[in-house]
Copies of this chain bind each other. A is one copy, B any other.
């Protein structure tokens, strides 16, 4: 079993560094050697563990991106509280690159979605599936929030979920490289404004 451990460790290193560089420079703009040089590994080592560059990236999607999106954007939705502040907080969190100097995971989805769209059906559909799961969870939380009297009855929960996702993904194109604090603040503020308009407003007791 010692062998298996070594294998796992090398694959893990490859995936981690791969995501870092793919995210920074784009998948098609990054050669395997770019990554292998950084890790002092060879083509031989790479193809011993992965059957192709595509297979490699699918591993990265499934093992790293999916996990991170779930942790940042989907699991926080599993709550019984008022949905709107919870959603705000999860988005604020996901857009914050400051946490432990980590990568800005919030940005990856839109980047990769756009890059693989029309070019690699397999990867593209896996990324869309992530968005889809997110949307389903948003909708279900919003509907619960409606039942609990946090959200106005007239609201179209699917439409709201779509709008949240669109604005979130779109922030990526605006923020670009610069982790512009001003833009993030504006975004969150307007989201709150919007949420205020779909919240149920009870008569003060």
Residue numbers in B under 8 Å from A197 (CB-CB) = 193-194, 196-197
How many chain-A residues does the 8 Å CB contact rule pick out? 45
Q: B-facing mask of A14-25, CB < 8 A → 1, else 0?
A: 000000000011
Whether A133 sits at the interface, judged by CB under 8 Å, is: no
B110, B156, B196: the one contacting A173 at CB < 8 Å is: B110
Copies assembled = 2
Q: Return A73 CB to nearest CB of chain B, in Å.
A: 14
Whether A79 sits at the interface, judged by CB under 8 Å, is: no
**A110 engages B114 (CB within 8 Å):** yes
**A171 engages B174 (CB within 8 Å):** no
Q: B-facing mask of A173-201, CB < 8 A → 1, else 0?
A: 11011000001001101110110111000
Q: Return A115 CB to nearest CB of chain B, in Å.
A: 7
Whether A67 sits at the interface, judged by CB under 8 Å, is: no
B158, B165, B168, B187: the one contacting A162 at CB < 8 Å is: B187
Whether A117 sits at the interface, judged by CB under 8 Å, is: yes
Residue numbers in B under 8 Å from A118 (CB-CB) = 24-26, 177
For the complex of A and B, the 7 pairs showing the least CB-CB separation, nearest first, are A170-B170, A197-B197, A166-B170, A163-B190, A169-B170, A159-B186, A167-B167
Interface residues of A (CB under 8 A from B): 24-26, 28-29, 109-111, 113-115, 117-119, 128, 131, 156, 158-160, 162-163, 165-174, 176-177, 183, 186-187, 189-191, 193-194, 196-198
